[in-house]
Amino acid sequence: MTMLDKRHKKVVVCVGLVVLLSSISCSPKPIRTPPNITGDPEAIEILQKMKENGKDLKSFIVETTACREREGKWEKVVTQKTIAKLPFKVKKEVHVLNNAFGFDVGEGVIVTDGQAVNTYLVKENRVIITTGSHLLEVESGISFSPANALSFLYRSLSFSYISEYFDMNVKVNLKLREKINGREACVLEVYPTHKRKPGWLKVWIDAEHYIPLRAQVYVKRSGSLFQDLTFKDYKLHEGKVWVFHKAEGMDTMLGLRDIKKLKRYEKVRITWTNLQINPDIPDSTFRFKTPKGAKVKRMKTR
């Protein structure tokens, strides 16, 4: 295996685990200062207006399904239910099918009450309890805290990696305006300024409601296109937030059977059902009880 293959493998494994355990933080206080956004003034303003869409979002519940195309037929590869009381209380029930992410994860439950992340792997009857000041932070310098409520909701709806680029120090450029699905969009390129930046993002943002219409994620070292999703069927949900109902496109991870083959793309379709905005969720939802007989491993981040 070449050094480049090893790097690709590391990127895919890290991102796969992030999707499975996405956007959970241990600390009830912000673990970072607000991101520093530089670049074109108009582009910076567009990003700020995009975040405004989620200013009234306090909690949500949603069920998400991802499918990929196989020989002209669609097969289900991931389902998950997310219950979130923002900013730091989350419960996720995940089912990984058909060797998505390049490995067979099976069924998992991830719960945090803001103090620790409890990950229960059902098939192995094993619990991983993680504490520390920077949970789910990979070496690229990205924080996966759900403090940005809107981006956390978008990720829960679509498995898209847009959110991480809006929660870190970035430089953003406004490239052009073009139409997508009949709507005028501002096309932005977003580059993390961290020295260990993992890649960069190209995103089409609706010029009227400042919502993402399409996103492309590129891997830094190889320049490979990692994900290309178009977001469709936008509606104002419960008078609180504009959200899409479907995402379609190409993805390397949801369809990756051999983790070494980073450039293998799959046609994917992601939909959601039963979205509830700002439901009343009791704190008891986020209390984790270790199942009887489960093996327990404790970890601490630095």
pTM: 0.80
User: What's the rounded Cα separation, in Å, for the pair 49 and 25?
Assistant: 25
Q: What is the mean pLDDT of the chain?
A: 77
Are 59 and 78 in contact, with CB atoms under 8 Å apart? no
User: 168: pLDDT confidence band, cut at 50, 70 and 90?
Assistant: confident
Rounded distance between C-alpha atoms, residue 144 and residue 137, angstroms: 6
Whole-number pLDDT of residue 152: 79
Note the pLDDT of residue 14: 41
Phi first, then psi, for residue 20 (nearest 5°) are -65, -40
pLDDT at 69 over 70: yes
Pair 114, 26: CB distance under 8 Å: yes
Token code pair at residue 65: 């399904």
Residue 239 Cα distances to 69, 86, 114, 243, 302, angstroms? 34, 19, 28, 11, 41
In this prediction, what percent of the chain has a pLDDT beyond 90?
27
Number of compact structural domains in the chain: 1
Question: What per-residue confidence (pLDDT) applies to 147?
Answer: 58
The Cα 55–Cα 125 span in angstroms is 39
The secondary element (H helix, E strand) that includes residue 97 is none
The predicted structure's pLDDT at residue 154: 86
For residue 113, the enclosing domain spans 3-300
Task: Please name every residue paired with 249 in a beta bridge, in sequence order, or none if there are none.
Answer: 229, 268
pLDDT at residue 141 greater than cutoff 70: no
Domain CATH for 34: 2.50.20.10
pLDDT of residue 127: 93
Lowest mean pLDDT across 90-104, 110-124, 232-246: 90-104
Taking the C-alpha atoms of residue 157 and residue 227, their distance in angstroms, rounded to an integer, is 15
pLDDT at 295: 94
Query: Vertex 160, ends 173 and 227: CA angle to 5°?
Result: 75
Q: What is the pLDDT of residue 151?
A: 77
Q: Residue 260 pLDDT more than 60?
A: no
- Whether 139 has a pLDDT exceeding 90, the answer reads no
